[in-house]
Structure 1
Amino acid sequence: MSESSAQHPTASRPPHPVVPACRQEQGAGPIDGMPQSTVRRRHRLRAARLWRSRAVRAGVLITLLALCGLVILALVREQTGTQGFLVGLGLATLPVPLLLAAFRWLDRVEPGPWRNLLFAFAWGACAAALIAIIANSFATRWIATATADPASADTLGATVIAPIVEESAKAAAILLLFVFRRRDFTGLVDGVVVAGFTATGFAFTENILYLGNAFGEDQAFGTSGFASVTAATFFVRIVMSPFAHPLFTVLTGIGFGFAALAAQRHRLRRIALPLLGLALAMGMHALWNGSASLLGPWGFYGVYAAFMVPAFGLLTWLTIWTRQRELRTISHELPAYAAAGWLAAAEPRALSSMRARTMARDFARRTYGPAAGHAVSEYESFATSLAFLRHRAHRGAAGPDFAERERELLHHLWRRRDVAAPALVYAARATGRVIAPPPHRDYGGHNPYRH
């Protein structure tokens, strides 16, 4: 370390970005140096170009996923029969809403677009499941032919081949969103949520297959009730371990999340971390499958108690801690914009409290209608994105379009300021985050939500 760097340890850090001045002169646009008409024209032109390209890409993607869905539907129905498929579908659906709601709850601070999450679920349920069925079947048959030992081929396929194939197929969805929806993929929570939706979709299709086959076996042997194979399969896959696939793939998502936080100059880290997460996901998946294939039922329950439950608890704690850290980031970054005049002084503290954010939305919706509540929700989302963008700029991970993205977010905030700011100030005061007299309900006779 050189003498100068030793004396000034912060010299190598990225400089703090300068907050644009908030000009409010008569006739000036909300963004410094950019007239309002120019802003609208540029947004219309950009939106037109993006809509054309996105429509084509979205159409192709939806078509491919739909084809994968039809193929996987035909394959599963062929293996389980129509009655088994319907029984498996009904039972496999039960944990899906709970898992999706849990992952969406983790994403409350800066909710990702639903289109990204629906893509992740559809990829897991259709594309990843189809890849897994075809690749696993081909690999198992090839091993059985090469070794002339079908029993060991099934064990090797479940313990080695399946974890590699399935985790790679699920990781492809995370990679696609990381590359093509980079603005929406900003940190660890985003990686966890995308991975959770992808794995939930994959487990949904896999559970239909396993439960449908179990029902067919019970029909063939005439068993029913708690002693049936269907009941045992339901207990293991739906009651005991509905989080198994999400837990594996979340490790990959965490790797991508840490890569999103890494500075642009750390290219090796941005590549190595997702690969490390994928390797850990494959290893835990192999341990889970091997516990049943190699150790028998007692080994399975031992691995479940000793590894799976603690790992699930640790990852849950890590994700919730990260969410609280995101709220602290908002309270740390947004005061700079309040000082520059973009936000009211009370807004950063309200935006860093989930209770105050909810109260602001409810107050606006209850007092001035659903459109007002929606405007406040959008305002909170844009303000959160702005705080995270500035935080990434401090770390050197914001990218070359930082200034353009910052101005765009400030423009969106400005358009909703008269709508959202009073509700957030009210929520800050009502929750005690700002010590001041409560505002008059109609803000002095002026309805800020009426245009």
Structure 2
Amino acid sequence: MGTAALTVLLGLCGAVILGLVHQQTGSDGFLVGLGLALLPVPLLLAVFGWLDRAAPTPRRHLLFAFGWGACAATLVAITVNGFATEWLASSVLPRAPDRADALGTTVIAPVVEETAKAGAVLLLYLHRPRDFGGIVHGAVAGGVAATGFAFTENILYLGRAFGDDLAFGHSGLESTTLGTFLQRAVMAPLAHPLFTVLVGMGFGAAALVARHRRAARTALPLLGLAAAIALHSVWNGAATRPMEVFLAVYGLLMVPVLGLVAGVVLWARRRVLRTVRATLPQYAAAGWLADPEPSALACLRTRALARDLARRRYGRRAARAVAEYQRAAACLALLRARAERGAPPPGFLAHERELLGTLWRRRPLASPATTTAARAAPYSVHRR
């Protein structure tokens, strides 16, 4: 019932936000903006999907995150940003409208937008804690939500730019649409995802902290949100400055921060695989897995080989069964590691039984393929 209600709510938000964007861009601008805004989305989703391979997040959760960012978060942002900026201009700074706009861009918008996007991560953290296994899961959820947000926002900005070009007769290299597309979709398609990944990392780190350490579990998401707001504020401020200032901020701040965050997430991804390797042997000792499988399941190359073997021998359905087996094994390892760390999610025992049941059902197809893959690629297994 809750899922159905949330789906309806997101659908209503989507209808309202698309109506507002269409109203501000016109039909031609909306279609052009929609087409151009779509271009970076598959690439961004592919990046986050690649990061998520070690212990894949359920697709329905990623669909929810994208829908929340594209529909609910953008509706909140457009409504609150507009109201707050108008209030500043009319009541607080009536004689300085430019200053009101600057405050709206650098102070209000970052707070509102990052808080709105963080709503998707917060809901998954609170209501799907068993699938929220650490920093990678948090970063992926935040990044996908922000990708949805940027998609809708790009429709608005690109549609407006196209309308300006029609009104003033701009075309070619002088086109506002081209400049907007280059800035938002080519130079900085990861801007919004980068901000909200910081929020997701905070929630992901909190999920790994022992449950009795309530202060740390509260502080880590707030620190992630504060970092996202601060970085977003600097970015918005730079975008209103001359090009040389923007490029300096882009090169000296945004690129290094992106590199640092990517390094942390990749480290966390490798840590997931090490956790799988270290934790699954106890399930092998209990008879749930064959002896070569823990190492094989801790290697992405060997996992891919096992799926390929199953597909060639028994077809796509068998490959999907192997993929489900691999995901269940990885999630089982993370779940057990969280429990041993003193941070088991609610319903730990029930979820462990559910994952073991998945292993048992998929074992007739998946275990032979995994064992064969482990023997066929011993170098990859031992290396990874």
TM bin (shorter chain): over 0.9
Name the residue aligned to 2:275.
329
The 5-angstrom pairing of residues 3-402 of structure 1 reads: 56-146=1-91, 147-148=93-94, 149-293=96-240, 295-399=241-345, 401-402=347-348
Name the residue aligned to 1:21.
none
Offset at residue 340 of structure 1 (A): 2.0
Residues 108-135 of structure 1: CA deviation (Å, up to 9, x unaligned): 0111111111111111111100111111
The amino acid across from 2:6 in the alignment is L
The amino acid across from 2:238 in the alignment is S
Whole-Å separation in 2 of the counterparts to 1:202 and 1:99: 12
Is the 8 Å Cα contact of residues 247 and 312 (structure 1) preserved in structure 2? yes
Residues 289-331 of structure 1: CA deviation (Å, up to 9, x unaligned): 11123x4222111101011011111111111111111111111
Whole-Å separation in 2 of the counterparts to 1:376 and 1:316: 29
TM-score by length of structure 1 reads: 0.82
Whole-Å separation in 2 of the counterparts to 1:200 and 1:399: 28
Is the 8 Å Cα contact of residues 130 and 346 (structure 2) preserved in structure 1? no
Whole-Å separation in 2 of the counterparts to 1:82 and 1:434: 53
Residues 180-208 of structure 1: CA deviation (Å, up to 9, x unaligned): 11111110001000001100011011111
The amino acid across from 2:50 in the alignment is W
Whole-Å separation in 1 of the counterparts to 2:13 and 2:355: 37
| Unpaired stretches in structure 2, ≥5 consecutive residues | none
Structure 1 ranges of 4+ moved more than 4 A? none
The amino acid across from 1:425 in the alignment is T
Is the 8 Å Cα contact of residues 67 and 145 (structure 2) preserved in structure 1? yes
Offset at residue 400 of structure 1 (A): 5.8
Q: Which has the higher helix share?
A: 2
Whole-Å separation in 2 of the counterparts to 1:211 and 1:434: 46
Whole-Å separation in 1 of the counterparts to 2:330 and 2:302: 14
Offset at residue 394 of structure 1 (A): 1.6
Let me know the Cα RMSD of the aligned residues: 1.3
Whole-Å separation in 2 of the counterparts to 1:362 and 1:207: 38
The amino acid across from 2:357 in the alignment is H
Name the residue aligned to 1:410.
356
Identity of aligned residues (%): 59
Aligned length: 379
SS of 1:116's equivalent in the other structure is: helix
| Unpaired stretches in structure 1, ≥5 consecutive residues | 1-55, 436-451
Whole-Å separation in 2 of the counterparts to 1:201 and 1:416: 34
Whole-Å separation in 2 of the counterparts to 1:407 and 1:133: 44
SS of 1:398's equivalent in the other structure is: coil
Residues 66-100 of structure 1: CA deviation (Å, up to 9, x unaligned): 11111111111111111011111111110000001
Matched, 1:420 2:350: no
Offset at residue 241 of structure 1 (A): 0.4
